[in-house]
Amino acid sequence: MAKLKTKFTCTECGYETPKWLGKCPGCQAWNTFVEEVEAPQRAGVHTSVSALPQEKAVSIIHIESTKEPRIVTDNIELNRVLGGGVVPGSLILVGGDPGIGKSTLLLQTSFELNRKGLKVLYISGEESTRQTKLRADRLGAISPLLFVLCETNIDAILMAIDEIEPDFLVIDSIQTVFHPSISSAPGSVSQVRECTTHFMRIAKSKGIATVLVGHVTKEGAIAGPRLLEHMVDCVLYFEGERHHTYRVLRAVKNRFGSTNEIGIFEMRESGLVEVNNPSELFLSERPLGVAGSTVVASMEGTRPVLVELQALVSPTNFPSPRRMATGYDHNRLSLIIAVLEKRNGLFLQTQDVYLNVAGGVKLDEPAVDLAVAVSIASSFRDCPTQPFDAVFGEIGLTGEVRGVSRVDQRVKEAEKLGFKRVILPQKSLKGWNPPKGMDVIGVNTVQEALDAALPR
């Protein structure tokens, strides 16, 4: 009997080594190696290169350009995130915290595809078929074209795919599926990589749109090797708090569309309901006349969104003041605080600064900088901003305000929600006409923005 060999595999990048290492040479991550049993190779099984099907290389000018057909669902928010709909033969990875609504979203999407006459196979490795039926009854997603299978063996799953021949396939979740020829446990690096390879081959060869549900780690990243995200065509993250009703679907990778789009949903008893006007949602509980509250006009892909920023500046009792940000880059916050101290004379060295983006949205575009600076200055001076002011612009290290893109869309969104005044970069006033009745103030420096937003 052949002796079983063990190897150590990095859970981040899949790097393999015969002994344990503290730091991965491939991705430089610490304490990511796990021990696995290496599958023995069968003797006498060799495949010659001449026996494999070969395809000749052709010039790119001779390749016919074709537009990818899409399956448009009834869910407008999901279509937006996917770039216009589901592409047949694509492999999609959906990640999110437990209980966030991943299975609910996919079951609703399956029913919407059933109504278009498409056949769906839902593979559940964590719930029984009766549990899935109970959820479908609650969502009203009952259709004869929706097939449910509770199975974790990939050989049985592939047999079911050949038998049913679905148009849409859901694997919930990839960490529960195992290959019988691999001795490691389900969810390990080898199992996840091997099973994903099989599903990718099925999706590409048969043109079946396949969705894999992935677990996430404590840091919020999808569990398993990073190789998993490279193999799929699209990576979606379902964000939000379990105890709140609103969810954000964000594309991190998309080979068939933009990665800047987000979809916003509200979790109700009957399932996920799409939110058509997210700006009104994020501003619904905004307090008026409170210091530290500022509204920023941000762009999420092609959609303008108005979001409230809340800043709290308070004296610290520690030698090193705290800088905390929720929904915003911590390093960018420190940079803006340094600009306010150096260029605008705000003494923040003895102050704790807390910044929060209301609604659970993450803002990462530079146009949010000016609104962050106004919020911090408003809280520091204890001077509230005007209740119907919107602010946006990028800040440089010398205290200048730089221009941003899609200014007209941001201003029109502010006008639609009843805002009367917008503070924006002076350089962004060219090439468009502001709406009638909207007071547009162009500024060149942060000091000019503070004087306009916070009159002394």
The string of pLDDT tens digits covering residues 154-169 is 999 999 999 999 999 9
Q: Are 396 and 337 members of one domain?
A: yes
Edge to edge, the sheet with strand 168-172 lists 146-149, 120-124, 168-172, 209-214, 91-96, 234-239, 246-254, 262-268, 271-274
- Contacts of 317-323 spanning 24+ positions with Cβ under 8 A: 321/348, 321/349, 321/350, 321/351, 321/352, 321/353, 322/352, 322/353, 322/354, 323/352, 323/353
Domain, as residue range, for 23:
1-38
Instruction: Tell me if 430 is assigned to some domain.
Output: yes
The reply to whether 190 and 326 lie within a common domain is no
Whether 44 is in a domain gets the answer no
- Cα dist from 250 to 94, 95, 258, 427, whole Å: 10, 10, 11, 31
Same domain? For 110 and 172 the reply is yes
Q: Same domain, yes or no, for 178 and 235?
A: yes
Query: Could you read off the pLDDT of 359-397 as tens digits, one per residue?
Result: 778 888 999 999 999 999 999 999 999 989 999 999 999
Domain assignment of residue 46, yes or no: no
Q: pLDDT in tens for each of the 456 residues of the chain?
A: 556 678 888 877 778 888 899 998 888 888 888 887 766 555 444 444 444 456 788 888 888 877 768 889 988 899 989 988 999 999 999 988 888 889 999 999 999 999 999 999 999 998 899 999 999 999 999 999 999 999 999 999 999 999 999 999 999 989 899 999 887 778 878 888 889 999 999 999 999 999 999 887 666 666 666 678 888 999 998 887 666 678 889 888 999 888 878 888 988 888 899 888 888 878 888 888 899 999 999 998 788 999 999 999 999 988 889 999 998 999 999 999 999 999 999 999 999 999 999 877 888 899 999 999 999 999 999 999 998 999 999 999 999 999 999 999 999 999 989 899 999 999 999 888 888 888 999 999 999 999 999 876
Together in a domain, 253 and 336:
no
Q: Is residue 18 part of a domain?
A: yes
Q: What is the pLDDT of residues 76-89, one digit of tens each?
A: 899 989 988 999 99
| Element (DSSP H or E) covering residue 228 | helix 227-231
| Number of neighbouring beta carbons within 10 Å of residue 93 | 25
The set of residues, in sequence order, having a beta carbon less than 8 Å from that of 362 and lying 6+ positions away, is 239, 250, 327, 328
Does any domain span residue 52? Answer: no
Number of domains, the chain:
3
- How far apart CA 295 and CA 418 sit, in angstroms, is 12
- Could you tell me the CATH number of the domain that includes residue 202? 3.40.50.300
